Amino acid sequence: MALVMTGGLFGAAPNPFVKRGLYRFALAAQAPGGQPKRKWSSRTASNKLRCMEAAARLGPIASPPKFQLGDLTVRVLDGGSLWLDGGAMFGIIPKPIWSQRVEVDAQNRIPLATTCLFVETAGKRILIETGCGERLKYSEKEHGFFSFGHNWLLPSLEAAGIDRQTIDLVILTHLHFDHAGGATMSDGRGGFMPTFPRAKYVVQRGEWQDAIDGHAVMTGTYRRENLEPLERAGVLALADGDAEIAPGIRVRVLAGHTRHQQGVVLCGGGETIVQPADLMPTSAHVGLRFNMSYDLLPFENMVNKGNLLKEAEAGRWKLLLGQDPRHALWRIETDSGGRHVLRASVD
């Protein structure tokens, strides 16, 4: 059956990093001239997307969904799952409307995937997003709130034969725990270390500052164990706005959910795929006003979402929605009423 979607808990708390001056040390750790060069790809090879399986949550499997974009080889990995309050996930939209679009449990929660991408290009191995991370990072109370799944990114990588020591770059759209939780892991001594020790971790400079300043509407969404090990290891690569990260891979600031959230644009073979992060986390959020209560800038999120949808439809881009629990890749159309419609893409 074809999937079609149409547009139609916490308070802030001080972040302990501020007292320790973590941001100052983080900036000092950046190597001179270490920022990504603004260099845009012009590849226009004619390769077409290979068929992608419909499920977004497959668990650790040896052959995850894979497609080719010119010189980019992309594998879609299951980074884990969680459940979040449906009312918070849809903001001002009444439950009788949003509950028609998604599964809802007895606690008013909806299921979410944390889809991660493994990309190989120009001799580099690149991860986009890292999911929630290990279950041991979370308290019993948090497990009760979020019902985290048993999988996380590392078992998915291992099942696919990908050694975490070989990752060169990790791109994080923003630093909330369900996107950056897999960036660090237990060191076996009661602390945490970078999951990918050889990699540079790419995030917007403004997002990093907001994370360590606790500039958020949710207590605990920027978590010390996800951030401090990266600063301590000197593995941060802070971007200042839109930039090319590798041939065919760009980051693009998409403010709204956070002030400095970045989406990821993959280009190759005459195709473009955008991972818009939490500008539009699931297909049920295609409507301009279907935004989260967690968004720092809800008006900007609505405007930027509308602009991206128009641009993507005009360019025949596809969207890869990282938290949609049913399907990863979507194409954009406009219905007879002028509303944007997302259809699950299998070609």
DSSP 95-124: HHHHTTTS---TTSEEEEEEEEEEEEETTE
Q: What is the mean pLDDT of the chain?
A: 86
Q: Examine the pLDDT at 159 and tell me if it is beyond 60.
A: yes
Predicted pLDDT at 56: 56
Query: Mean per-residue pLDDT for 227-249?
Result: 98
Confidence of residue 44 (pLDDT cuts 50, 70, 90): very low
Predicted pLDDT at 239: 98
Predicted pLDDT at 172: 98
Distance CA 153, CA 195 (A): 10
Predicted pLDDT at 287: 96
CA distances from 184 to 4, 51, 74, 336 (A): 36, 32, 22, 47
Predicted pLDDT at 58: 83
Domains of the chain: 4-344 (3.60.15.10)
- State the pairing for strand pair 340-344/318-320: unpaired
Distance CA 207, CA 172 (A): 10
Confidence of residue 88 (pLDDT cuts 50, 70, 90): very high
Q: Which residues are bridge partners to 340 per DSSP?
A: 334
Distance CA 252, CA 69 (A): 19
Each residue's pLDDT tens digit, 8-43: 422 233 333 333 322 222 222 333 334 333 332 333
Q: Examine the pLDDT at 278 and tell me if it is beyond 70.
A: yes
Predicted pLDDT at 85: 97
- Contacts of residue 156, Cβ cutoff 8 Å, sequence gap at least 6: 59, 60, 61, 64, 77, 78, 79, 116
Q: Is 8 exposed, middle or buried (0-12, 13-18, 19+ CB in 10 A)?
A: middle
Strand blocks (E) in 97-206:
109-121, 124-128, 169-171, 184-186, 192-194, 200-204
The owner of tokens 């990863």 is 328
Each residue's pLDDT tens digit, 99-143: 999 999 999 999 999 999 999 999 999 999 999 999 999 999 999
Predicted pLDDT at 217: 80
Distance CA 297, CA 299 (A): 6
